[in-house]
A and B are shown apart, each in its own frame.
Chain A
Amino acid sequence: MNILAEIEQRLQVLGPEQIEVIDDSAKHHGHEGAKSGGGHFRLRIVASCFSGLTALSRHRLVYDALGSLMRREIHAISIDASAPDPQDNSHLYQE
Chain B
Amino acid sequence: MDIKEKIHQTVTGNGVVLYMKGSPQFPQCGFSSRAVQILNACGVKNFTSVDVLADSEVRQGIKDYSNWPTVPQLYIAGEFVGGSDIMTEMFQNGELQKQLEPILNGA
Contact = CB atoms under 8 A, between A and B. Distances in A.
Interface in A67-87: 70-71, 76-80
Contact of A32 (B28, B80, B90): B28
A3 to B, nearest CB: 16
Contact of B95 (A32, A78, A79, A93): A93
6 contacts: A55-B86, A56-B82, A59-B86, A70-B69, A76-B70, A77-B70
Contacts, number: 42
Interface of A: 28, 31-33, 55-56, 59-60, 63, 70-71, 76-80, 93
Nearest to B92: A93
B69 A31 contact: no
B68 A63 contact: yes
| Interface of B, helix, strand, loop or mixed by DSSP | mixed
A55 B29 contact: no
B85 interface: yes
| Interface of A, helix, strand, loop or mixed by DSSP | helix
Interface in B6-44: 21-22, 28-31
Contact of A93 (B31, B80, B93): B93
Contacts of A31: 28-29
Contacts of B30: 28
Contacts of B90: 55
Contacts of A71: 69
A61 to B, nearest CB: 13
B31 A56 contact: no
10 smallest beta-carbon distances between A and B, as pairs: A70-B69, A55-B86, A32-B28, A33-B29, A93-B93, A55-B89, A56-B82, A79-B85, A63-B69, A93-B95
A56 B86 contact: yes
B102 interface: no
A3 B36 CA distance: 30
